[in-house]
Amino acid sequence: MLRPPVTISIAFVKGMVSGVQARGRGCDDLLAEAGIPPGLLQEPGARVTADQYAALFGLLIERFDDECLGFLSRPLRRGSLALMTRAAIDAPTLEAATRRVAHVFRLLQDDLRLEPVRDDALAGVALRVVDPAQPRPAFLHELMLRVVWRLLAWLAGGQLPAVRFDFAFQSPAYASSYGKVFPAPLQFGCAQSAFWFDAVQLKQPVRRDEGAMRAFLADAQAQVIVPRRGDDLCSARVRGHLQHTQPAWPDLAATAEALHMSTSTLQRRLASEGTSFQSLKDELRRDTAIVRLISGTVPLATLAFELGFADSAAFQRAFKVWTGSAPGAYRRGGP
């Protein structure tokens, strides 16, 4: 079965380029090379595909030789993530691997520290800003938490469920987009940014070898920056079913029957995950539309039919509500 497409809020794209822009460096050419029309940065509801987002991340790192994208006083040179991975690959446990990653990062950087932390039954990694008088942009916190969490999850065999994410800044305007990127309860306005997981996980052995490390590093940028969906979640099962049945787009009752549960049970489980059937359906139609628009020249009438709309006009109205832009803004080169 094809996996449902993933798209990323333009807020994270703006954050990604803000470090180099603050240093007076342009990146419109890199946005265009990644297939992202620069004008989309002015549309708060715009989104990009996961492939575009990962491509932009890689292009920025290559252009500026900095895996922290201009946010720190000293560039984190290309190969830094690989160096941390190599230092941790032969650690006996995840706890030892965490200490090694933090140690190598300290050798490479002056502005931030990665600190292993404990809180009763929880373990985690916190970001400590060395000079609190020098505020750091929210995206730097988002980037570092995401990269280190995904690296440790990979070292642990691919799974390290987060219990909570803390952020050392107030809730941003785009916080509603955090759910896919940081899939756990969120706390803002904290003393330090950190991610937390069950401390039992620290005793896990590192489950990777040299071959697996080479494969990971070959695709590391996408591995650490693109959201991973939990296939065991009810919402993921719904998205998978809707993806598989396109262009039929079954309703709530039919989907519940296909998943062998009652309508009320499905609604309750989705609510517990902070979503609803209609939200998932609209998100999938939005993401599918964006992927189809940027990857080809599909007629709008055809796309409207594929997405279950009565006509092209209805689709275009819905797309404007979803993204703030007309579908033509997502074509290669714009309308």
pLDDT band per the 50, 70, 90 thresholds, residue 229: low
- Class of residue 123 by CB neighbours under 10 A (exposed 0-12, middle 13-18, buried 19+): buried
pLDDT in the model for residue 224: 86
Q: What percent of the chain has pLDDT over 90?
A: 70
pLDDT mean over 97-111 = 96
Is the peptide bond between 247 and the residue preceding it cis, with omega within 30 degrees of 0? yes
Tell me the angle at which helices 138-155 and 94-108 cross, rounded to the nearest 10 degrees: 140
Going from the C-alpha of 8 to that of each of 14, 37, 150, 196, the distances in angstroms are 11, 14, 17, 23
State the Cα–Cα distance between residues 16 and 27, nearest whole angstrom.
11
pLDDT digits (tens, 9 = 90+) for 142-180: 999 999 999 999 999 888 999 999 999 999 999 988 987
Distance CA 314, CA 317 (A): 5
Mean pLDDT (whole number) for 54-64 = 94
CATH of domain 234-330: 1.10.10.60
Task: Provide the pLDDT confidence category of residue 1 given band limits of 50, 70 and 90.
Answer: very low
Q: Is the pTM of this model over 0.75?
A: yes
Residue 196: its H or E element: strand 193-198
Question: Which residue, among 241, 249, 268, has the nearest Cα to 308 in the 3D structure?
Answer: 249
* pLDDT tens track for 188-200: 999 999 999 999 9
pLDDT at position 334 over 70: no
- pLDDT, tens digit, 9 for 90 and up, residues 248-268: 899 999 999 999 999 999 999
Q: Is 121 exposed, middle or buried (0-12, 13-18, 19+ CB in 10 A)?
A: exposed
Q: Is 187 helix (H, G, I), strand (E, B) or coil?
A: strand
CB atoms closer than 10 angstroms to residue 261: 16
DSSP for 286-331 reads HHHHHHHHHH----HHHHHHHTT-SSHHHHHHHHHHHHSS-GGGGS
Q: Report whether pLDDT(222) > 90.
A: no
Q: Sorting pLDDT into bands at 50, 70 and 90, what band is 134?
A: confident
State the pLDDT at residue 48. 93
Mean pLDDT of the chain: 91
Of residues 318, 333, 331, 335, the one with CA closest to residue 45? 318
Decide if pLDDT at 2 tops 70. no
pLDDT at 333 exceeding the cut of 80: no
Contacts of 232 (CB under 8 A, 6+ apart): none
Start and end residues for every CATH 1.10.10.60 domain found in the chain: 234-330
Phi-psi group of 69: left, alpha or beta (phi > 0 → left; psi -120 to 50 → alpha; rest → beta) = left
Write out pLDDT tens, residues 231-250. Answer: 557 888 898 899 889 888 99
Q: Where are the beta strands (DSSP E) in 203-261?
A: none
* pLDDT score recorded for residue 223: 81
Q: In the predicted model, is pLDDT for residue 274 greater than 80? A: no
How many whole angstroms separate alpha carbon 325 and alpha carbon 286? 12
What H or E segment, with its residue span, contains residue 75?
Answer: none
> Is residue 60's pLDDT more than 90?
yes
pLDDT in tens, 9-35: 999 999 999 999 998 888 899 999 999
